[in-house]
Chain A
């Protein structure tokens, strides 16, 4: 795919790359300064550390902890089901355990594990010192760990959710699930959603903006491509589950009837919202694993990936098409025949990109000289298992077959084949493959083979018979079964298989205890002969200098790269501003744009995470005052952490190597903050889009009961206020020469947005629309509540700008804060207008 030189994206002269590698010795003390700036944590700093070398390892470790914990729950279930009519677990306990097994595996293991892999690997792989928002990564990790452990502990008090990992109402409504078990799920998932989205923002901006110079899109590592698509999918998919959990919690706590058919709601809405997230979720966790496979296979086969660009295309196609299959989980719910046909077609179509990847891996293995080491074995095992799971997936995509197999153990077998083959085995391959990058010793090959053998055999023993138990009619989620239906043998074999699988995991744990030695001063290095930048010699500062990349496999193709990088002969060999920093490059051609000053460790993100988790958990146990206090403290901590941002350095430009000068401050679309804000607003927009879908859906269920909207006067006032507020906030950027005026414009903009919101809310209240009385009332108030949340955040931002002005931090030399706040307020105005006009004009406008 090489071709003639491409035009510049930013005006940067790429001929300057010819200056590298530089000649001569680097100044004395330069490396020592770098080491001092990126020094290892001491004492309590192990908690406040933000360097990805630490946070990434913590993150992967926590995810694997949850994998083991959820695995123990699986063993308990298999013990109960080994023989008919067992009394190991009571029915209610079993319900809690299978719900927690699925929930922990999907939300606390699978998504965080692959996100963690990204946090750990991407900076080195991209040639960055760290991802652009290391505190955000650390915050996401701590919120996830604290909240996840507290959520898991609900099991020990009999308070764990018990409605299955997809929590269908009406089973999970207060009528059939009184108590706070379901609330633990609905609110417990809250901090995981925040954590996942924070990680996704970090990954998107990191992959697009912190690549090594020269790493154009055709040279972007395949793992980074996978992570980019993965993070994009999180941004599109997770808002749906955010909305779903919020609506169900509102119904449970306040009686707003979104899913209550007696008041115009419809439980099918939950299924649509949940599966719009839930099915792409499978690909969300598969894609990074596929990216890891596509990186490991060439290394163990010792040849470049066959069809690299086709694999990239497959990632992109998966990212889109997987959103068209959500309803294939709903074939038995009485969907219209035409919809069922469409979703069935899309479900079959999504297997094609997966097939492209599988054939690429097979072709790479066939064309190279495969080494059957531990990562290689896991890669091959994954291929086999995933293909088997994929084939049963195509079977389940056929509607008549799905009607027979739905909610049976056949589906349990299918989903475990897909998830274990598509994610767990690749993750273990990744752990074996990349451990030498972060540990002084690689993991043991001998123990690795045992781990693989037991996991592979145990996996098939456990799940292959489940296809039969399902076809013989055994429904999933039953806590026991009667003898005499020929289910005994397959169940016993499945239980034995589960313990064999667990034995494999146990050997891996022993291997980790014996050999995993992270955070040392030396790593085992490139044991498996990979060709990516992550195998360059590195310290806590990542690589000594940031190379110019000219190949997809730079270590294989660029001679003396490791030596020259370690000698500081490329970009950023030292620390020209005297602090932590990395290069920011352009998103397509990776041309250097500016130097990004990175944060140093502090405790604010940890406290913010503690209070975020506290907010959700205290809300669950109905300690409302304490929850609000915790939420306020979380906001204070986040603001304190933001306070250190947007401070220009004394040096406006610095030499980043070979005499190339780059600015030390940026705003607008070249800055990382702008990209992060845009991605955040896409999340908000997706929640709004799903809210509008919910609005139309609920109307279609009971159109005759919907009442007309309020008068048009309030519509006009709210419209004018919203437009005025958004415009003022956007235009404030142009008045930075007069800081007080700019600040006043932001505050006035926020106030006008508040006015628009207040007018809209009061007009609906004035016609007596109650959120408890009908589905229309509930969904209109939900859309208003979402807008109210944004208006509240806008108000906090406006006050934050005022505070910064009082400290003299608003001015033309630092436009980023005003610019980003303006962007947020303008979005809030647009969101308010969409909500306003949808609820006023539909369905009234159709009449």
Chain B
């Protein structure tokens, strides 16, 4: 199970962030003006947390590739790159929202 969590963890973070961003964006749409700023900060904070978590996963996976566990070096290297990609994608998809507000 740890192998699969490691492999898919970064991308799962991206998915979780995406859903949260979608929910927050929808809330912004139906909330009054004074509530919009806190929601924007909430998304900014969430984005930062998810990016940091994805980077941490990437670093952890890269280190693990030196001491291969299940899945040899293939899985940790793939995990490292997937988590890095997820971190970039999280920033990318939040940019329109954060830029606008």
Contact = CB atoms under 8 A, between A and B. Distances in A.
Interface string A799-810: 000000000000
B30 to A, nearest CB: 6
Interface string A330-371: 000000111101101110010000000000000000000000
Contact of B28 (A3, A4, A320, A336): A336
A339 B25 contact: yes
Contacts of B62: none
B77 A1 contact: yes
Nearest to A344: B96
A309 B82 contact: no
Given A317-B11, A324-B18, A216 B71 contact: yes
B40 to A, nearest CB: 9
Category for how many chain A residues contact B: 35 or more
A558 to B, nearest CB: 18
B77 A320 contact: no
B82 A4 contact: no
B32 to A, nearest CB: 14
Given A216-B71, A309-B78, A313-B85, A338 B28 contact: yes
B22 interface: yes
Contact of B100 (A2, A9, A337, A700): A337
A323 interface: yes
Interface string A308-324: 01101100110111011
A309 B72 CA distance: 13
Given A313-B78, A588-B70, A589-B70, A345 B26 contact: no
Interface string B9-38: 001101100100110011011100000000
Given A313-B85, A339-B22, A218 B100 contact: no
Contacts of A4: 68, 72
B75 A317 contact: no
Nearest to B69: A7
A670 to B, nearest CB: 13
A317 B22 CA distance: 19
B44 interface: no
B81 interface: yes
Nearest to A314: B85
A312 B89 CA distance: 18
Contacts of B75: 217-218, 588
A341 B97 contact: yes
A6 interface: yes
B89 A9 contact: no
Contacts of A309: 74, 77-78
Name, among A309, A310, A341, the residue most crowded by chain B CB atoms within 10 Å (CB to CB). A341
Interface string B40-73: 0000000000000000000000000100111111
Contacts of B95: 345
A342 B11 CA distance: 17
A342 B25 contact: yes
A6 B73 CA distance: 9
B77 A321 contact: no
Contacts of A1: 72-74, 77
Contacts of B15: 320, 323-324
B100 A217 contact: no
Contacts of B72: 1-4, 6, 216-218
A316 B12 CA distance: 11
A319 B18 CA distance: 14
Contacts of A700: 26, 30
B70 A321 contact: no
Contacts of B92: 345, 349
B96 A338 contact: yes
Nearest to B76: A3
Contacts of B3: 588
B21 to A, nearest CB: 6
Contacts of A338: 25, 28-29, 96-97, 100-101
Given A1-B73, A324-B18, A341 B68 contact: no
A349 B68 contact: no
Nearest to B13: A320
Contacts of A589: 70-71
Nearest to B29: A336
A307 B65 CA distance: 18
Contact of B68 (A6, A9, A320, A339): A6
B96 A6 contact: no
Interface in A513-567: none
Nearest to B18: A324
Contacts of A349: 89, 92-93
A339 B29 contact: yes
A217 B97 CA distance: 38
B43 to A, nearest CB: 9
Which of A7, A217, A320, A589 is most buried by chain B, counting CB atoms within 10 A of its CB? A320
Given A4-B72, A217-B72, A316-B82, 17 more contacts: A1-B73, A3-B65, A3-B73, A6-B69, A6-B72, A7-B69, A9-B70, A217-B71, A312-B78, A321-B14, A321-B89, A324-B18, A337-B100, A344-B96, A345-B95, A588-B3, A700-B30
Interface of A: 1-4, 6-7, 9, 216-218, 309-310, 312-313, 316-317, 319-321, 323-324, 336-339, 341-342, 344-346, 349, 587-589, 700
9 contacts: A1-B74, A2-B72, A313-B85, A316-B11, A337-B100, A338-B25, A338-B28, A338-B97, A342-B94
Would you list the 5 A-B pairs with minimal beta carbon distance, nearest first?
A341-B96, A218-B74, A336-B29, A3-B73, A320-B11
